[in-house]
Amino acid sequence: MSGGSIIIFVLKIFAALVIAIFGIVLGLFCKGIDRKLAAMMQSRVGPPIRQPFLDFFKLMIKENIVPDNAVPWIFNGAPILALVSTISILFYIPFGPIPALLGNSGDLILIAYLLAIPAIALVAGGFSSGSTYASIGAQREMVLMMSYELPLVTIIITLGWRLNLAYPGLKVFSLAALSANPIWGLVGPLGFIGALLLLFTLVIVTPAELSIVPFDIPEAETELAGGVLVEYSGRNLALFQLTNAVKMVVMAALTVALFFPYNIAPLFSLSGALASVIDTLFFFVKLIVVIFFEATFIRVAVARLKIDQASVVYLIFLSAIGLLGLLFIAMDYII
């Protein structure tokens, strides 16, 4: 290994650390905003925006209890696995004008796999915690995961396929290529409707990924007292909460990168460092707007579904909407 590549390697590790910390801070901050907005919609005062940080620090000093009949290495390993896999997604997602750290070595399909790992970790942690409630929660998490994967994959395939038709030479599943050529510019009116349907599908898949109402069925506080997380406490619970916060950023950033990658700087004909700063800020505004519609608004507007109802929603209705989006985009290309 030459001297130059070692320096790049060290720099990349340093950058990865920065991104990880930044992702966690941003996630907790977004959680705070989400809670504040939800409170305002429910005509309450709500906690201060820094509340998720306070919760995190509080949990870190709390006792970490491992139940006697749990399998300790899975029980303790699951939250770490979930957090690591979620943070690693951040390395593949561009943040506005800032390109992804590992953008060249991973694509959307890798992200789809990485997104499944926290859910699998949750299932493993739930089953290994030796509680009936956690087992029921883990079963539900599995069912839910299998239900929302198909609509999610439909979106990814459709976007990649359409981009491939337009620019056959590109690496079509790379997020950089997808956000450089947003779907809206590639299609006609019919395809536009199709793209809207795909966006809708992604918006409805997100609450399940983040396990919030109406799809917080695996945790279901009033039914299962926390479900998969019922036995988790202290540091392990804090890690799961961090996972959730980072995942919120990931899902929102993914939506922004796939559907709203537009920048504001060209409008004011800015360039250079100022343009990057403005675009980065604009990206965060987009992020919060997307979180509002994907998470906050949905969770205050509806009641929790049952697991069989949620399965029907995803496997039948949402898959149908996703496939309809695919069909529209395909018809748009043929016509």
Partner 1 sequence: MSKSTAYKVPIGPIHPSLEEPMTFNFEIAGERIQSVDLAPGDNHRGIEFMGRNRNIVQIIYLAERICGICSASHPFAFCRAVENAAGIEVPPRAEYIRVIIAELERIHSHILWAGVAAHELGFDSVLYLSWKVREEVMDLLEIITGNRVNYGMFMIGGVRRDITEQQIPRIRKTIEYYKDVYQKLEDVFLDDPSIAVRTKNVGVLTYEDALRLASVGPTTRASGVKKDVRQDQPYSAYADLDIKAITPDIHTGEVNGDVYDRIIVRVLEVLQSVQIVEYCLNHLPEGEILSEPKIAKLLANLKKAKGEGVGRHEAPRGEVIHYVKLNELENPEVWKARAPTYNNLMSWVPMLQNQEVADIPIVIASIDPCIGCMDRVTLTDSETYKQQVLTREELRQLSIEKTRRMLK
List interacting residues with partner 1 (CB under 8 A). Answer: 41-44, 132-133, 136, 139, 213-214, 216-217, 220-225, 300-309
CB hemisphere CA count around 21 (13 angstroms): 5
DSSP letter string over 28-52? HHHHHHHHHHHHHHTTS----TTHH
* Closer residue to partner 1 (CB): 222 or 269: 222
* Residue among 8 and 308 whose Cβ is closer to partner 1: 308
Smallest separation (angstroms) from partner 1 to the CB of 227: 10
Minimum distance, C-beta of residue 156 to partner 1, in the bound complex (Å):
29
State the minimum distance, in angstroms, from the CB of residue 246 to partner 1: 24
CA distance 42 to 134: 30
Q: Where are the alpha helices (DSSP H) in the chain?
A: 3-41, 51-61, 72-90, 108-128, 132-166, 175-180, 183-186, 189-209, 221-224, 234-259, 272-291, 297-301, 307-312, 319-334
Provide, rounded to whole angstroms, the least separation between the CB of residue 222 and partner 1. Answer: 4
Query: Could you count the other beta carbons within 10 Å of the beta carbon of residue 240?
Result: 22
For partner 1, give the closer residue by CB, 62 or 308. Answer: 308
Residue indicated by tokens 């399909």: 109
Least separation in angstroms between CB 302 and partner 1: 4
Q: Is 272 exposed, middle or buried, given 0-12, 13-18 or 19+ CB atoms closer than 10 A?
A: exposed
Between the two ends of the chain, the Cα-to-Cα distance in Å is 53
CB-nearer residue toward partner 1: 110 or 142 = 142
Residue nearer to partner 1 on the CB measure, 213 or 287? 213
Instruction: Give least dist CB 38 to partner 1, A.
Output: 8
Residue closer to partner 1 by CB (options 49, 300) is 300
